[in-house]
Every structure is written in C-alpha cells, then in structure tokens.
Structure 1
Amino acid sequence: MEDNNAPDIVKWLFKEDTTVDLSDDLSMHYQGEYVACQARLKGNLLALKAVEAAVEPILIVCEGLRVEKDEDIAEVFVVKYGDSHQLRLMAADEATRDKWMLKVAVASYQIVRGELDEISQLYLNNSSKPDSTSPRSNTSLYFLTSPFIKDVEFHIKSTASAPMRKITCSEEMYESKLTMIAPLEYTKLAKKWSVELCDLLKSKSWRSNNAIVLEAATNAVRHLNSHIEIYAQAIEFLEKYDGPSFRPSKEKYSLALGPVPTNLHVQFFKIVDKDVTTTCHFVTIGATSAIPLRFPNGGLHRQKLALYSSMDATRLDHSNGVRFATRRRTLLESKKTIGSLTRKIDVDWQVGKFGHVDKIGLEILAEVRQLHGTIVDMISSFPNINNLFNTVYTHEGSDDHQYSLSSQLDALEMSMISLNSKMAVIDTIEDNKEGREHFHQSARVALNSTLDILLQLVEGLLHSQVLGFATSLRIANDCQTYFQIQLREDLILSQTLTVVATGLLATLDQLPPKEIAKWDVLSPLVTYFSFLSCHANEKGMMEDIFDVWSSFPTQVRFKFIPASSTVSQVCIPTIAGVRGDIIVSLPLLPALLEKLGPRLAAGEPFRVRTIFWNLGINHEATLAQSMGSIALEEEINVTAYNETKKYVDELKEKLADVSPIHEIEDQLEELRVAVDENPSRKNVAIFTRVMTLMATLRATCTLGCKSGKDRTSMAVTLEEARFVKEHCGVCSDQLVQVTESLRKNGVRLENCRKNIGKSLYSFSPFQTHFIPKEFRPPAGTYGHNVKS
C-alpha cells in the first residue's frame, strides 16, 4: 500500500455509505490507558479512529498478523503484526471480543483467496451493468436531450496472487434543451431594452440646445440601432433553428449564435457496485465569452476598467445601465401610483361618520407620504440633478425660477405641511355633516395639489435622467466603449444564465429532497472551473467570464413555477425584468416541485451564488508565466477562495446542524493552503481541492475551457476517476488506469466528434509536453492540426 493512499482509504472506510464487514465501538490501548474509538473492518483492511482523543487514525492491512486473547482482561484481545508491533483492543463484552477475533483472524487476503477465485468469474460475468440504451427519468428528459451513454469497464490488478478486479461504470452525456430556448428569451428582452432606450434618446421632451449633447445622443442612437439589428438577426436565426440543442465549438465565432453557450452538455457518472448505485454530475461548456466580438481591447473586465478610468463619478453614475434602469422603473412606478391615488381620491374616498376611523383617508395619506419620501430620496441620490432638471425646463421655455427643482421641492414641502394639517383637522370636526364635508373637500384639493407637484417632479426627473445619460456619453470614444461593453455583457449574460439554469435543474433532479430543502435557507452554489491561459484571446475570455460570474448573483434572480401541463415535454423558461434585476422563471414538473422547500415551492425568487476559478495548464499558460503576466489568474483565484469562505461561513451560521461542518472546514483549510502556496502557475492542487470541497457542499460543478472539449475532457475524466477512487478505494497507480480508460473509451471522444467531426482531442506532442501529467491525453487519442 502506498503511504499517501492510506488517508484516502481511511476516509472511505468511515463514510456513511461505505458497506463494511464489521463495525463497532471499541477501546484502544494508547499511552497507558484505553481510549474510545470506532473500528471498521472491510476485507483485509482494519481502520481505527479515536472518538475524542487526539490520536491519528490507524489503518492495518490484515496480512501476516496474529490475534490472541488477553490473559488479564476478558474483554481485551491483542492484534500482533510485524516483528514487535501489537495493538490491544477492548470490546464491550466477551461475545463481541470473540466476534472481532474471528473476523480479524480470517480477514487475510490469502485465506479468502480460494473462495474469491471460486466466485470471481461468476460475479464478473453476472454483475449488474447500467443500461446503455435506456435514457434517464422523465424529469431529466424534461430539460435534457440527445443522450449518449457508454459503459466503461476497468480491470484493476491488485497483487500478483489476487485475481483482477473489475469495476463497471456508466458515463451519460446530454445536451440541454435550454441551450437555444433561454438565449432566445433573453435576446428578446435585450432587444426590448435597446429599443426603449433608443426611443427615449430620440424623444424631444428632454432635448438640450447644446450641440455636443445632441451629437452624443445621435451617436448613442447609432450604436443602439446596430445592437437592435444584431439582436434581431439572432432572434430570427434562433426562431428558425431546428438543429441539435448545442452550439458546436467550430461555430464559436458566429455572431448569430453569440448569445448561445458553446458546447453545453450535462454529464452524469454512475458507479454500480452490486445493488448500490453512486452518481455524480457535471456541466461542461466552452468559454462563456463574447468570442464573436473578438478582443482588440481585451475582455469585459479590462474594458470596464478603461471606461471607468476615463469618466468622473457623475458621468459614471448617469451612464450606469443598472442604475439607470432601476431609477427609471422607480419613477414609472411612482407615476403609476399617482394615477391610482388620484382615482382613489375622486371615486373611493367619501366623508366618514364622526367617531369612525377614516381607513381610506389614512391609506391615501400614508401612500402620499411614502411617495414623497421615495421622490426625495431619488433626488438626493442623483448627482447634478439640479442643473439637469433646470436645463430641461429652460429648454421647454418655462419660467426658470418657477419651475426650478428647488422651487418645486419648496412647493412640495409646503403642500405636504398643508395636507397633514387638513387631514388631521377632519377627525376633530364635530358631528356636523356640512362642516365635515367642507373640510373633506379642502383636504381633497390639498391631496390633488400635492399629487400634481409630485407628478411634475417625476416627469422632470424622467427627462433629466435621459439628459444626464446623453451628457455622460458626450465623448465619442467613451460612447463607443460604453455600447461595446453593453453588447458584450448581454451576450455573456445570456450564455451564463443558460448554463446556470441548466446546472440548477440538473442538481435539482439529482440531489435528494433534504439537500434541496437547504436552498430555502442558503442560496445554491454554482462553481465554474476554467482552464484558460493569461495569453492573447484566452485572457480576454477570462476577463469576460470573471466580470459576469462575479456580478451574476446581484443581477439575476430565479424562481420555480409549476409547468403549464403535467405532461410538458420541454422546459421553457420566461425571462423578465430590467438591467440589473432580471428574473428567470423555470417551470417544473410535479416530481421536481415536490423536492423544493416551502419557500421556493411557493415561487419566491432566490439568488444563486456563482464562483469562478481558473487554472491555465497549456503551453500558452507557460508562455504567460515566463513572458507575460498571470496577475489576472491570481486575482481570480484569490477572489474565488474569499467568496467560497464567505459561503462556508454563511453555511456554518445557518445550516451547521445539518451539514458535515468539520469535514468542510478541513477541506476549506486545505484549499486555503493550496491557494496561499501559489494561486496560479499550474498548481493542480487547487483544482483537486476545489472539486473535493464542492462535492461535500453539494454544489453544481461546471468545467470549461475555450471550446469545452479538450482541456475540459481531461478535467472531467480526472474528476470522475477521483470519484472512483473515493468510492472504490483504488490506489494512485490504479487511478491512472481508470483515468486513461475513461479518456479512451468514455463519452468525451464523442463530444469531440460532435464538435469537429473527429473523435480526437486537439493536442500536439509539443503541447502535451507543457501540460501537467494529470491532464495529458492517452497515446492514440489526440492529433495535431485538429480544428477546435
């Protein structure tokens, strides 16, 4: 046995779902006293783990040892091994002692060899296999399609004297039905936003006499018209599209497919051990990046930094798309509220009886006060609003003093004071119908007057907002950069939204209800681990992904709703909202809805925590390390660790009683050590420890590279092999055999064929020299000059 394999075997033996031959609570003699411990025996492996004492776990291979009774204490037996080693163990009673002595004595592999040889052939020939032709359940096929399933057999040689061990696994690869549907819905929404903004900029209500501002508005309209045309072409293409539900990597430069994620697949990996089935799943993708727009000025992250450095705080505030949409929505809702209040005052509000609470009047007054507070807060948060507001009304030919913002705010405050006084007086008037009606009418006039002032303020703020937006983009280069960023972000957000929605549905389908119920308390976690390099275009892709995956939790909310029909065949999401506050509604079949906790089952929106990691592993990563800069990758991974730690801290606070906290803390500490040691430079330990921690957290794992087929295939097969090691207890040498078998005989070569027409990974002998050994393809599975 390898020394570095012993801790993994101990962990495996003490996992709850590991079936063992014998398990008991014993006491182990240590430093002159007996300490409580857990004992587990499986095959010829005996593992001991102290319950409370600070003692390292012990793993004994039961070969060449002797088991004897203790002469002094009836419940104690002694395990002797090697030349002078012995271990004294105490059972609860003599019967338990005898049971353990017998089991340990016959646990030797040599003793059971005859029995194993007798049944091995029968077992290997008749062991159950996953059905390679039958698809998954109806719930999976509701959002997945085009299954490709392969059974993979591993013949593992343990020792020269033991027969070969056979492990049968199943790999299943599916396309996502959301691949074309979700981008179509999002692109329609993005086009709507662009049309609305274009119409606002064309409107004459806000227009300034300043030639520079008018030219800025004209430039903005020109860029928006270009965006609208791009969206319209994408919508037309996607509406007519009738091909497979994935975008092949050779189409990654297609602008019509720009909103669609490249090579999106969901992959399931299943191990069948007699009657026990263990499953894991992954989402695999190409880079969620605006590749069709290329990278002459870098990716989204770099372009935003360049724009921010060239604009002052006021211009940044006025041009901020999220803030613009949020403010406009608030103002339009206020305008709508004013209309409904006016109707309620004229129709529903009547003079009440003396001594009775005027509920409608109090409701109206409360809403007016709330509306007043909203408008005042809006004005205070709006930079340079005085000048913008006054410019709008000066342009309209109004008296500058009478319609200035300060004058209207003074009038509003006076009107609010008058209104509060008159509403208070009504309830003090004695039971005199004529007198009460007079004051009621006076209060009605005050209410209408206040609402008129509020309406005029709202209209002025709406026009001022558009003027501020146009003014902020008065420099042509900034205007061009701004709209390039907006188009790029729309394409990336469409892809990311589709990937996250697919991952959520796959995880919802796979996890048990008790795990899904945690989503009511703690946001689900989706991790994206990429293998791009900090060189040339791939650096731009990293910048695209880093920016959107970092801001995604604040921009997008999801909610689950019942499917329109219990026999629905396709999950068709609906996407609504404004920039910065998008809501994606995912319809679910009853079987999936039943898994949800009460909060999510009621349709309450929730956010998804997204974390992005990256590790360059190819020759271009080596080039970036030696001749370029890897600061971006280091920033990405340090940020990812900090976000992961925040998530774990939140989990400890909210779900400590139902989560394996100690195991999570240990794995997080191991990850911290790896990141601190080196957050870049092909530190493969980061990938291994991230994936181990994500599996424990029951997170959705997404793996990707530029095209999602070569480096991604190496990563997903490496992770599947780790899954086999964890659940079947294979050693490191055997792990290499498992990994190579999956890369040669699994579904990933089919993924290559679907993308480029050849069942080959796109690597050259030169490239493989620079790739870490864990990520190298087996001989005969890769080729040079294979277009990817």
Structure 2
Amino acid sequence: MEGETPPEHECPAVCDRLHSSVHDKENSPMMRAVLCAQVCKVYRFLTEDQRWLLVREQMSETPLSFSLPKQLLSTLIRRSEGAWRPSPHWDGLRHDVINHCNHLIGCYQETLAELDKLSASSCFKSSSSKSDKHLQFVPTNLHSQRMEVTGPNSVWYEVITFGAPAHHHQAFKHGGLKRLLSKHTNNRDGCSVSYSQDESSRARELLASVAQLQPLVFGLAEELLAVSLELNTEQFVHALKDELVKSALLAIHSQRSASDNNSHVHSNGLLCDNTLRQQASPGQQDASRRDAEEYVEEEWDRAWANVAMSLNCIHAMGDRLQGREHRHQEMTSSEDQIHCALVMTFRTSSSSSSSSSSWQEQLLPLVVTLRDCVREAAGKARAAMTFVVLQGAVAASVAQGPEHIVQRRHAVFSQALSAVVCGFMLKLFGGLEDPDFLLQLHSVGVLVQFEGLLSTYGDEVGMLEDMEVGVADLSTVAFTVSEAKSEQADDLLPTLSGAWGSLVVEVPLPPETFESLPQEVKDGRLIRVHPVLFNIGINQQQSLAERFGDSSLQERVNQQSCERLRVYCNTLTDTLPHTAGIQSLSDLLSSLDRSVQTKKRKNVEVLWIAATVCRRVNGVRLTSCKSAKDRTAMSVTLEQCLLLRERHTLSPRHFSAALDCMRRDGCRMENVQKNVGSRKFAFSGVQLLTFPKLYRPPDGSFGSTH
C-alpha cells in the first residue's frame, strides 16, 4: 500500500491476502453472474518515489464460455427449422433449402446436447481440447485477466484472453475462413433472381398479414350477414397491394417460363445469368420480359378488380337495403359500368323477391363472391411472398457457402462472441457511474479491439484467416440493457435473440442499478459493436514467414483495422467532443498508422499503440494466441507492467523484476497449470531467441510441458 518506505534491497513480493473490503464489490451478484473460479495474486511494487504500490491480479473463468454458445446453437437450430416452412407452395424449392439445412441442424443438436452435459460441471475448455468436435463452439481457455491498483481511488484494468477463434477440428489444410469464402465467391454462379434482406423481411411481414387478415375479412363477411352492413378491408388491401408482390409474381412467371423452355435450374432452384444469356439474344430476352410483365400485371390487376367490384356491390346493396344509397359521381370507366350492371342485375332479381326476404338471403351471393375473389388475390400474394422468402433463404445459404464453411463460420463466431460478451459486461459494470461512458455506448457504440499474436506461417495462417472473419462478423451484433427479474445469478445472465446477421445480446441489470441508467439505455437503445483486429506474430515461425514466407495477410489485417479504428475515433470525436481523453487520439492514431506502414519485423509497437487507443476510448480489450496460454501470458503481463509504469509511477529500475515476478508467480502460471498440468511455459531457449526481448519469460519458468 502506498505510504511506508521499504528497504532499498526489497524486491517485488507476492502477498498472501488482501483486506476483505477490496473484495466487496467483486462479490456483487452482477460479478458472480459473469465470473467464476477466480485466482488472485497480490503484489507489492516500488514506485519512483520509493513507496509501496499494492497491485491485485485476478484471473477468472466465466459461465459465458458455455451459455453463449448454447444459446447461439439454439438460435441457429430454430432459425433453420422454422424459416423455410411458410406455406405449402414451392415444395421443390423448399425441399432444397431444407436439405441444405438438415445436416447442420442434426450436427448442432448433437453439439448442443454434449454442451448441456459438459456445462453442468465446467465453465472451461482447456487448450488440449481445442480440436474436440463437440467443443468447437466453445472458446478455448477463455478467462478475464484483471488488475486492480489500490490507492485513494482504486483502478481496474481488464483484458479478455482466449485462444484465437478458429475451427481446429476441421483444421487448416485448405486455409481458414477468409480463403475458403474467397474461393467460394469466385466459383459460384451469378443468380438471376435475388432479394435483399429487407425485401425478405417485408415478404415475411406480408405473409403474416395475409395469414391474419384473410380470416378477419371472412369473419367480418359472416358478421355482415348476421349483424352489420359495414365491411372494412382497407388493412387487407394495403397489405397485399405491395410492389414486391407484383415483382415476385413476375419472377415466378419468368422461372416457370424458363423451366418450360428447358433452361438450366440448379438444385437449389436458382437460375443462372450465364444460362439465360446462352439461351436467348438480348433482344429476345427484352421482348420476353416485356411480355411477362404485361401478363403478370394483367393477372394481378384482374384479381384486384374482382375484389373491388365485389366490395362495391356489397356496399351498394347495403346502402340500398338501409335506404342510404347516395351516388353523387358519374361512373364512366369500364370497371364502373361493369359494377353498375352487376348491381342493377342484382336489384332486378332482388325486387322480384318477397318483401319479407331477409338481408342475409340477398347479401349471401355477394359475400360468397367476395370471399372467392379475396381467396384468389391472397393466394397469388401468398405464393409470391413465399417465393421471395425461399429465394432469400436459398440465396443466403448459397452466399454463405457449403455446409462445412457455414459450420466453420458459426463456430468461429461463437468463440469470438462469447469472449466479447464477457468483456462488454465487465466494461459496463465498471462504467455504470460514468455518464460520459454510458452516453458513448448508446450514441456511438463500443469499440472491441482484438490483439492477435499468431504467426503468418503454417497452420496459424489459417487460424488468422478464421479469426479475421469471426471478428468482422461481430459488427452485426448489438447489445441492449434490460431490468433483471431478480438478483439471482440465472436472471443476470445475458440472453441472445434475433437471427444470424442481426443478433442482439441483452444484458440484464439488478432493478436498483437499472433505474440509475440514462433513459436512452433504459429504453433499450441498441449498443453497436465496432470490432478491430491487430496481429503481430512474435514467435520463431514468424521469423520464418518474414525471411522466407509471406506476411501480406498480417499487413492487410492491420491496415484495414487501422482505418476502421480511425473511423470509430472520428465518429466519437464528432459526436462527443468533450469526452475526457479523446483530445490526444489524433496523435495516437497517426503513430499507429506510421507503425503499421513501417516495414519492421515483429513490430509489437503496433499492438501497444492499438491497446492504448482502445483504453482511451473505453473499449473492450482481448488478446489471443493459438491457445492463450504462453504467448498470451507474455503479452498480458507486459501490458500490466507497462500500465503500472506509465500510469502509476512504477519504478523503471524495478520494471523487469515486476515483470518476471508476474510471469513466474502470477495468475498466468496458474493458467498453464490448469491447461497442461505443468508449471512451465511451452518455450525452448532457442525459440525465445527469436522473441522480442520484452516477451521472454524469466529463467526457470519455461521448458517442456510434459
């Protein structure tokens, strides 16, 4: 603790315990919901003014290692099972989509069952299990690494450590996700019929409207016969008179015509542009399309004309029967003339009927006709919207690639998501009393900065390609905060909703805590995720890559992330110009850009500057190597000591001693023990000669792990 001056010869020491008051906040229900199996070490370090600095290091597992992957698997299963069965139309196309999904569903159900068994007794996937088939959705060796510096105002620093999100079970013989997706994109044919995600969503809404409103119209028609003469079908008409319906009907007609002409249709039901081009000249294609458009428009207009005439006849009959017939406008159109003829015919027939004839008897033929017309129009609309939904489903599955690519992508994303949710929750809990931070969350979003230590040689190239895609996919994720039902651990766990490409993670807070939040956050405003990845290989394999191989993947990843980071920081500066700490961002970003552009081997300065920017903007920090066991240990202990030196006046003379102490006796050595059963980092002396000096462990702390 700061105060007492120690003897000159005193070295950093690992303390046995810390005053119980420091633990109070850490034992809150919120922290217990996200952290478990904690390991703590407490150190005394010398400051520049020869005082003691009390530092607490804490490493924790998290139940999110299993709970988030299980929720994601359940979401993917539900989406695959239910999304492609909107109606009995287009059975062939639907069958293709279901076949595409069925094997994935089976695999995911099997994986989910295994995770249910394992999660009952564990929150941790060891590095030795990273290739386990049933654990591919679970992040490897996921921990929160936290450091508290005790003083007048205690400060916490956090970094999430986990094995680089990658699919080790499929391995990396053919590369990682980035390369596999690139090959797939280059090889797949263009499709003549495609719909955006917004159009597919609108089609689903229209299908739901049809399902809800058609029975309602029929019910009102029955009620009309029984009681009322007012029939309001405006909602129904508005729902179905959508341009998307007409365009989809045209697409259906085009595909049917193409099929009749023996055009090539893939097993997934999508026509290819090059096939259509081969079959007809441009002039023929234009003429055919004009004919199809005229046919579809005529059919669709006819269906709605029938509905309109039926409604007009019913309204006219109702007016006549109630003595309220007031026609003030002349009918000149052919439609109106037909309508008038129909009404007059009905009047003639009804006038000969008995005066005691009931309204129901007179209205029944018109109501039956209305129902038939509505049924025809709704049927056409339902077929069209089902076509849109299914084409969107097929296009999505085709875009994502073959089954093994889809499964790989989901698994990699699951690992990255679990780590990010853990980091976000800790960041949120630590900033609940900071109004600037809370304002930043809902107005700009949260920065998530991944630090990679993977080499660009051998299998780790594939791991980095997996990680690049997994990190990028997080940009479609958003957080929201809600009020928990209680302070029980289960009620404070985050929940996942939405679908692939638009997932929302809901973080519940205890009622009293929730009430203190800004209104925008309480209203459920989405908090967007802005992910970036910076990677610098530091081991002997990176030396081979730099001398004889290719580091272009690392260079591209860092350059792109540098640009994304600048965009986020500029948005933050423009939106919240008075937020503390952002004034110096411009200089930091310029330094980062120079470091990224510099052709320097193992330029770890890139990682240091990126981490500094992340902390300056209250971002979530994550660090990964292959297993988060050895290289990650070197990185997080170095980061902790750099923070102590730069922000808490750790004596430069004792910097190296403090670093060695954390590596030899700290939490990361416990991490090695729990992963491989040994208290040695898996480095050899020869390998360490290729490491940057600050990433080398002290003598006696490394060697064989067996």
Decide: shared fold, TM above 0.5: yes
CA distance, structure 1, for counterparts of residue 396 and residue 665 of structure 2: 58
The correspondence for 1:187, drawn from 70, 73, 78, is 73
CA distance, structure 1, for counterparts of residue 165 and residue 204 of structure 2: 34
CA gap of 1:730–1:191, structure 2 versus 1, over 3 A, is same
Identify the residue that residue 301 of structure 1 maps to in structure 2.
178
CA distance, structure 2, for counterparts of residue 429 and residue 464 of structure 1: 39
The correspondence for 1:462, drawn from 375, 386, 396, is 386
RMSD: 4.4
Identify the residue that residue 31 of structure 2 maps to in structure 1.
140
The aligned runs of 1:340-359 (5 Å cut-off) are 340-347=212-219
Identify the residue that residue 272 of structure 1 maps to in structure 2.
150
CA distance, structure 1, for counterparts of residue 236 and residue 584 of structure 2: 56
Paired residues of 1:173 and 1:265 also in contact (CA < 8 A): yes
Once the two structures are TM-superposed, the CA of residue 143 in structure 1 deviates from its matched residue by 1.5
1:538-589 Cα deviation digits (max 9, x unpaired): 11111111112113212x3332222232334564433333332223333332
Once the two structures are TM-superposed, the CA of residue 136 in structure 1 deviates from its matched residue by 3.6
Once the two structures are TM-superposed, the CA of residue 747 in structure 1 deviates from its matched residue by 0.8
Q: Secondary structure at the match of 1:293?
A: coil
Identify the residue that residue 438 of structure 2 maps to in structure 1.
516
The aligned runs of 1:686-765 (5 Å cut-off) are 686-730=606-650, 732-765=652-685
Q: Secondary structure at the match of 1:187?
A: helix
The aligned runs of 1:91-490 (5 Å cut-off) are 129=18, 131=20, 135-155=26-46, 164-196=50-82, 205-207=90-92, 217=96, 221=99, 224-241=101-118, 242-273=120-151, 275-314=152-191, 329-347=201-219, 362-369=234-241, 372-376=242-246, 386-390=253-257, 407-415=295-303, 433-434=322-323, 449=373, 452-460=376-384, 462-463=386-387, 466=390, 482-490=402-410
Once the two structures are TM-superposed, the CA of residue 443 in structure 1 deviates from its matched residue by 11
- Structure 2 gaps, min length 5: 225-229, 263-287, 328-338, 344-362
CA distance, structure 2, for counterparts of residue 416 and residue 587 of structure 1: 49
Q: Secondary structure at the match of 1:292?
A: coil
Q: Which stretch of structure 1 is more off in the superposition, 404-413 or 290-299?
A: 404-413
- Structure 1 gaps, min length 5: 1-18, 20-42, 44-114, 353-357
CA gap of 1:626–1:448, structure 2 versus 1, over 3 A, is farther
Q: Secondary structure at the match of 2:91?
A: coil
Paired residues of 1:183 and 1:260 also in contact (CA < 8 A): yes
Q: Which stretch of structure 1 is more off in the superposition, 569-578 or 662-671?
A: 569-578
CA distance, structure 2, for counterparts of residue 116 and residue 152 of structure 1: 15
1:685-740 Cα deviation digits (max 9, x unpaired): 11111111111101010111110111111111111112111222235444333222
Identify the residue that residue 566 of structure 2 maps to in structure 1.
645
Once the two structures are TM-superposed, the CA of residue 641 in structure 1 deviates from its matched residue by 0.6
The count of residues paired between Structure 1 and Structure 2 equals 631
CA gap of 1:367–1:226, structure 2 versus 1, over 3 A, is closer
1:505-557 Cα deviation digits (max 9, x unpaired): 11111123311232121111111111111112111111111112113212x33
Once the two structures are TM-superposed, the CA of residue 630 in structure 1 deviates from its matched residue by 1.0
CA distance, structure 2, for counterparts of residue 437 and residue 237 of structure 1: 72
Q: Which stretch of structure 1 is more off in the superposition, 697-706 or 306-315?
A: 306-315
Once the two structures are TM-superposed, the CA of residue 597 in structure 1 deviates from its matched residue by 2.9
Paired residues of 1:349 and 1:361 also in contact (CA < 8 A): no
CA gap of 1:551–1:365, structure 2 versus 1, over 3 A, is same
Q: Secondary structure at the match of 1:578?
A: coil
Identify the residue that residue 530 of structure 2 maps to in structure 1.
609
Paired residues of 2:139 and 2:165 also in contact (CA < 8 A): yes
1:653-685 Cα deviation digits (max 9, x unpaired): 21113343322222222212212224x731111
CA gap of 1:341–1:773, structure 2 versus 1, over 3 A, is same
Identify the residue that residue 266 of structure 2 maps to in structure 1.
none
Considering fraction of residues, name the structure with more strand: 1
Q: Secondary structure at the match of 2:133?
A: coil
CA distance, structure 2, for counterparts of residue 394 and residue 451 of structure 1: 30
Identify the residue that residue 4 of structure 1 maps to in structure 2.
none
Identity %: 21
Once the two structures are TM-superposed, the CA of residue 366 in structure 1 deviates from its matched residue by 3.9
CA distance, structure 2, for counterparts of residue 199 and residue 305 of structure 1: 31
Once the two structures are TM-superposed, the CA of residue 595 in structure 1 deviates from its matched residue by 5.4
Of structures 1 and 2, the one scoring higher in RCO (CA 8 A, sep 6+) is 2
Q: Secondary structure at the match of 1:608?
A: strand
TM-score after normalising by structure 1: 0.70
CA gap of 1:389–1:503, structure 2 versus 1, over 3 A, is farther
The correspondence for 1:544, drawn from 456, 466, 471, is 466
Give the letter aligned to residue 688 of structure 1: W
Q: Secondary structure at the match of 1:338?
A: helix
Paired residues of 1:248 and 1:262 also in contact (CA < 8 A): yes
CA distance, structure 1, for counterparts of residue 474 and residue 160 of structure 2: 18
Q: Which stretch of structure 1 is more off in the superposition, 337-346 or 443-452?
A: 443-452
Give the letter aligned to residue 299 of structure 2: A
Paired residues of 1:415 and 1:446 also in contact (CA < 8 A): no
Identify the residue that residue 688 of structure 2 maps to in structure 1.
768
